[in-house]
A and B are shown apart, each in its own frame.
Chain A
Amino acid sequence: MRAPSRSDGTRRRLLVAGAGLGAWLVVRPAAGASEDLAAAIRAYTGGADARPGRVRLDVPKLVDNGNSVPLTVSVDSPMTPSDHVAAIAIFNERNPERDVARFALGPRSGLARVSTRIRLATSQRLVAVARTSDGAHWSDAIDVVVVLAACIEGES
């Protein structure tokens, strides 16, 4: 990012897509994004397939602000010692980094459901991958639309 220059005593800022004054410096260009996402998921599963199913990723389709997006991930599982979700990982497509969060669960959890709030730099796909106690991987994906803030604020 170039340092801002001054003319006539006015500071110009490089405006980058994203929320707020200190905006994201990088939004991944669409071209490499989905391959990176697939690679990140493969790295997590150790190359195994993450089958769609059993996992439900709940995110509003249209968010008020990309800085704070509520997310709930739940997995259909009896959560017994012999059959439970051991871990859930959330991945994104177009933030600067693919990882969003990773959760460690177990039979003590009782219910495989976790909620948190995440940041989304732009409209993109989110994927949740659950690792079950038998070593299998299940997944769900959702496409989220993120709009820019209506006004670019510059006050200090």
Chain B
Amino acid sequence: MSARRAALAATAFAVAGACASFASGQADTRRSGAEFMSPATQAIERDDTQNPAMLWVADGEALWIRKAGRAGRACVDCHGDARISMRGVAARYPAFDAVAGRPVDLGQRVDLCAQRHQQAESLPPESGPRLALESYVALQSRGMPIAPPADPRLDAWRDRGDALYRQRIGLLDLACEQCHDALSGRRLGGSVIPQAHPTGYPIYRLEWQTMGSLQRRLRSCMSGVRAEVPPYGAPELVELELHLMSRAAGMAVDAPGVRP
């Protein structure tokens, strides 16, 4: 990557960070995980012709218009053009689902829609079609500020997520905040520790060699500290995501991201 493009990339990321400054005038020190990657990986994320996540986006775009389920209905039949109807949606998830009586994240929402409104089979967590639709919807919020809904039904869940973020877990007896608040920017092994903002999800993770959700990433971290890993869809994972999105409020969505 040329020095000039590297400088432009650094400027673009810095501007994105600065735009998330609070009204108080205090400098916003929050940075997307993308800023902790090498310039080469940043270049892949910023190029839609080279970002492997765009393969899933393309799949999502195709699935959006495909009729499915016993209802024989496509997403487009209810939602219309995703570029309009899904604009800003990913930025305000997780959201409360009245029928389920709990908050759901974007992947769960896609699955619930498929089951309820298409009368289709469930889309399992981390499955190709679910990640494809999640990526396609998340793309429609790219560049927009994360905007957690001011819904009091979310409060208790978000507070539990906050507590989980600070709770030591696992054989390594580590809490998220110990690495991601106190030690971000420093190194764990050869890797730089990011701040754990969920701005880029779902992501193409080089370690996985495929696309994955925030729930997968949280489970990987918990496994990494040798803690018991909750199953996909567990309430703790949604609680943590609620907290992380609240903590990242105002930061720009940079989905679908590439991460090491």
Contact = CB atoms under 8 A, between A and B. Distances in A.
- Verify whether A and B have any Cβ pair under 8 Å: yes
A68 interface: yes
A49 interface: no
A147 B190 CA distance: 5
A64 B41 contact: yes
Contacts of B41: 64-65
Interface in A32-85: 60, 62-65, 67-68, 70
A16 to B, nearest CB: 15
Interface string B201-222: 0000011110000001001111
A118 to B, nearest CB: 12
A152 to B, nearest CB: 7
A64 B40 contact: yes
B189 A20 contact: no
Contacts of A63: 38, 40
B206 A152 contact: no
A19 B38 contact: no
A149 interface: yes
Contacts of B229: 155
Chain B, interface residues (CB within 8 Å), range = 20 to 34
A155 B260 contact: no
A64 B209 contact: no
Contact of B206 (A64, A147, A154): A64
Most buried by A among B207, B208, B223: B207
A27 to B, nearest CB: 16
A60 B40 contact: yes
A153 interface: yes
A25 to B, nearest CB: 16
A153 B209 CA distance: 14
A150 B192 CA distance: 9
B178 interface: no
A85 B103 CA distance: 59
Interface in A129-153: 147-153
A68 B220 contact: no
B191 interface: yes
B209 A151 contact: no
B233 interface: no
A119 B39 CA distance: 18
A152 B224 CA distance: 6
B38 A155 contact: no
B164 interface: no
Nearest to B260: A64
Nearest to B230: A155
B98 interface: no
Contacts of B220: 151, 153, 155
Interface of B: 37-41, 43-44, 188-191, 206-209, 216, 219-225, 229, 260
Interface of A: 19-20, 60, 62-65, 67-68, 70, 147-155
